[in-house]
């Protein structure tokens, strides 16, 4: 075997080992519960694992997998003395850290704790929406960060993972992503299909809802609720409402959370995303500055994704 072939085999083995052990580190987080219903932590962890496996085998992917493994070891994902829930949350933290490393890059993530990585990614998502730069103080990491949005925003179609309530949603329609809170201006009906279908609920006037996106060429908007499961949280699609009853709200408006119902399931929908190359800069406590760039899109849950 040539030196080049041997080096290629070693790289392939390294990537495969990282992803295999990362999945194993999650333990129960990759399996359904005895009742067949996954927790929110499991759904989000599996989503990040699928995202990692779909990326090309390059340096960023390897680094992201290694960071995820490091977090998993540090918080005890392999420790069988911990409860199943503790291992699930640990595995979730590992995949989030790995994904953050992939999007932010090695030079940025090595200076930030996982919690601060999430803050920077959230700021990047908001910058994609507004086109405005953001500056952050990160006391946990004793650092400062800045996010600069791209000068040019492009739209891109992609299939994205979502969580939806099967008891209230019959169709996962294509959407143009909006990903922000809206206010209900007048009482409205929530339906299981855009344009009509079964009435599954009612929205009170002056209440707040989260809009994942607008159905192209129509006045119908896809509505989500915030669901929580311990330290994990996400958005769950719950139906469609006519846009005549909505108006945009303050993006910082907090939507009340609820426990995820047993009727929740995972699915995919086709979405038009706003994407661009973000610039990141972090200044640590010693005054050292790190910079990186990353191509990312704003997903229907308001979080940055690669597509």
pLDDT at 172 over 90: yes
For residue 181, what is the DSSP state?
Answer: E
3-state DSSP percent of the chain in helix, strand and coil, to 5: 35, 35, 30
- Predicted local distance difference test score (pLDDT) of residue 100: 56
Most confident stretch, 66-70, 120-124, 133-137, 250-254: 133-137
- Predicted local distance difference test score (pLDDT) of residue 53: 61
Most confident stretch, 55-59, 198-202, 284-288: 198-202
pLDDT at 78 over 50: no
For residues 91 and 135, which has the higher predicted lDDT (pLDDT)? 135
Measured CA to CA, the distance from residue 164 to residue 176 in angstroms comes to: 17
Copy the structure tokens of residue 72. 């998993």
Beta strands in 149-231 (DSSP E): 154-165, 175-184, 188-193, 196-203, 208-214, 220-229
Strand 143-148 relative to strand 246-248, pairing = unpaired
pLDDT at 87 over 80: no
- Predicted local distance difference test score (pLDDT) of residue 203: 95
- pTM > 0.85: yes or no: no
Measured CA to CA, the distance from residue 210 to residue 254 in angstroms comes to: 9
Give pairs for 185-189: CB < 8 Å, separation 24+.
185/245, 185/246, 185/247, 186/245, 187/245, 188/241, 188/242, 188/245, 188/246, 189/241
pLDDT at 64 over 60: no
Confidence of residue 44 (pLDDT cuts 50, 70, 90): confident
Range in 13-17, 225-229, 253-257, 260-264 with the lowest mean pLDDT: 13-17
* % of the chain residues with pLDDT over 70: 69
Copy the structure tokens of residue 186. 């007048």
- Predicted local distance difference test score (pLDDT) of residue 169: 96
pLDDT at 241 over 70: yes
């Amino acid at each position: 075997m040539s030196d080049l072939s041997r080096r290629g085999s070693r790289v392939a083995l390294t990537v495969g080992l990282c992803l295999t052990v990362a999945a194993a580190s999650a333990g129960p987080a990759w399996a359904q519960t005895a009742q067949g219903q996954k927790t929110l932590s499991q759904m989000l962890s599996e989503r990040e694992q699928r995202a990692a496996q779909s990326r090309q085998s390059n340096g960023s992917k390897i680094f992201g997998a290694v960071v995820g493994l490091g977090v998993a070891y540090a918080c005890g994902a392999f420790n069988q003395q911990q409860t199943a829930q503790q291992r699930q949350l640990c595995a979730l933290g590992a995949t989030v850290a790995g994904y953050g490393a992939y999007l932010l890059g090695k030079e940025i993530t090595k200076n930030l704790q996982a919690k601060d990585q999430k803050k920077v990614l959230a700021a990047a998502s908001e910058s994609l929406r507004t086109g405005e730069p953001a500056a952050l103080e990160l006391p946990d990491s004793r650092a400062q960060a800045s996010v600069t949005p791209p000068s040019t925003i492009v739209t891109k179609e992609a299939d994205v993972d979502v969580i939806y309530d099967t008891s209230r949603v019959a169709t996962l329609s294509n959407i143009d992503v909006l990903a922000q809170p809206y206010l209900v201006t007048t009482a409205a009906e929530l339906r299981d299909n855009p344009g009509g279908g079964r009435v599954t609920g009612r929205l009170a006037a002056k209440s707040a809802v989260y809009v994942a996106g607008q159905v192209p060429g129509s006045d119908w908007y896809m509505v989500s609720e915030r669901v929580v499961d311990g330290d994990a949280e996400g958005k769950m699609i719950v139906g469609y409402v006519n846009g005549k009853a909505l108006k945009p709200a303050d993006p910082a408006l907090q939507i009340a959370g609820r426990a995820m119902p047993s009727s929740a399931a995972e699915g995919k929908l086709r979405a038009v995303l706003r994407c661009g190359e973000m610039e990141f800069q972090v200044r640590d406590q010693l005054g050292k500055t790190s910079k990186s760039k990353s191509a990312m899109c704003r997903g229907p849950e308001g979080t940055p994704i690669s597509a």
